[in-house]
Structure 1
């Protein structure tokens, strides 16, 4: 299937290429072997896979590291030495902090929608206790917002904080909207929750929003990193 890109609509719609079912009894190397098999079979049909995107499962993350050589190496397969590997043309001054090999057969990244819903679900979970500094990230302040503030001010509904729909990405956007953050300022004990929602918003801007500029992509992605460090985000 070929989908041309036009200047008036540069984003092609996704389509299902393949579907398969497997048990949960697999290892990271099994994932890597499957990716390589799909890559090679696609090449036989003149299709070049550029990247794989997955969720946050630890086995998939390790597969990403093995595939890209990011502080990990799979001894039996010299992936980066293949003749069909892509070569990244890095400026010389970048090489001191760019830790992946410059030759890559394909790239890997986490599914950003899944990453956002993971953050939302952790915040709404009854079993997690999130601290930023000495203040708790709390669903109670969101409930107080919905019950005591006009919907015109924040546009939230109770389904936005309902954990039953764990893949509700629209809820992620609603919760992290600027109007919500501004309205929360009037609710006592909401600072940690606002910081957490700001983190969620920055991840969406960095990895999901099509209209984010390149420099803003970098800013919002690094904001998430430094929010964890300087905000002292803790999990219990």
Structure 2
């Protein structure tokens, strides 16, 4: 699929560019080489590709990290040293928290719908455990919410917290709604779950809702980033005895998955990079 940038229509419809079948036997480097080939062939037709977006397949995610130099490096092809890269003029002192390289051939985004379902599935998993402060992110508080409050208050039904379809995106929207967050305030031991649902809510606002302003997109995208950074650092700092009883081998098992975390970081960096490039008149306004 390809979505053109049209100055008079910020929500231009994507269309099918090509379709092909594969045997699923490929590596991240194969993906990256295909993107570079597509980019170069498009350049020959005076088409400038701004970015690529995929689901959260680990191979695609690694290809994105290699392409952007985001805690990964492709030693065989110096992508960022090309003459046709986009130069991002990073404001002073941003380098302490903005980790993407300032020379990018193209930007990369992880599909936010898949990211949301990954976050939702992690929370509803019967095996995974996540710890925030002295509370566990728990499906139990959602079950209690269903049992103690009317559907008219929170809008949830049982299938929203026990979805048979793991890609059911509608339940992500319902679980992260303001009504659910508000209703959970009266449920004991729900603070960690509310924090986690706010993380999910911020991803929805930043990358999915069409009426979100660019300022709010950046705010919520980076709210999710810093929430995850603080959460991860806290887990690294707490004593090992603090996690006794949670049946995990490592403290990192009490956090979101690595692909989901990298996706949150990568999307926020790419969004802010796009904004900077537009503000510096290196990309058209329609890129936002």
Q: Which structure shows the higher helix fraction? A: 2
| Contact 2:121/2:166 (8 A) holds in 1 | yes
Structure 1: where are the runs of 5+ without partners?
none
Counterpart for residue 106 of structure 1 = 106
Distance 1:25 1:41 in 2: 24
Asked if 1 retains the 8 angstrom alpha-carbon contact of 2:3 and 2:13, the reply is: no
Query: 2:11 matched to which residue of 1?
Result: 11
Q: How has the CA–CA distance of structure 1 residues 191 and 92 changed in structure 2, closer, same or farther, with 3 Å as cutoff?
A: closer
- Tell me the equivalent position of 2:126: 126
Q: Quote the offset at 1:121 in angstroms.
A: 0.8
Quick check: 1:235 aligned with 2:236?
A: no
Aligned-pair distance for 1:82? Answer: 2.5
1:3-61 Cα offsets, whole Å, 9 max, x none, are 78476x63122222222333343222111111112222333343321101122333222
In the TM superposition, residue 229 of structure 1 has moved relative to its aligned partner by 4.2
Query: 2:286 corresponds to which residue?
Result: none
- Give the TM-score normalised by the residue count of structure 2: 0.72
Q: Is the 8 Å Cα contact of residues 131 and 235 (structure 1) preserved in structure 2? A: no
Q: Which has the higher contact order (CA 8 A, sep 6+)?
A: 2
Question: 1:52 is paired with a residue of what secondary structure?
Answer: strand
**Partner Cα distance (2:56, 2:5) in 1:** 31
Question: For residue 78 of structure 1, what is the aligned residue in structure 2?
Answer: 78
Q: For the Cα contact (< 8 Å) 2:136–2:192, is it kept in 1?
A: yes
Aligned residues: 235
3-state SS, counterpart of residue 60 of structure 2:
helix
Moved more, 120-129 or 203-212: 203-212
Give the ranges of 4+ consecutive aligned residues of structure 1 lying more than 3 Å apart after TM superposition.
Answer: 1-7, 89-101, 229-236
Residue 84 (structure 2) pairs with residue 66 (structure 1):
no
How many angstroms does 1:94 deviate by? 4.2
Residue in 2 that maps onto 1:171: 171
CA distance, structure 2, for counterparts of residue 134 and residue 81 of structure 1: 47
Q: CA RMSD in A?
A: 2.6
Consecutive unaligned residues of structure 2, counting only runs of 5 or more, are 236-251, 255-288
Which residue of the partner structure matches residue 183 of structure 2? 183
SS class of match (1:235): helix
Using the alignment, how far apart are the partners of 2:13 and 2:36 within structure 1? 25
Seen in structure 2, the aligned counterparts of structure 1 residues 71 and 141 have a Cα distance that, compared at 3 Å, is closer
Equivalent residue, structure 1, for 2:56: 56
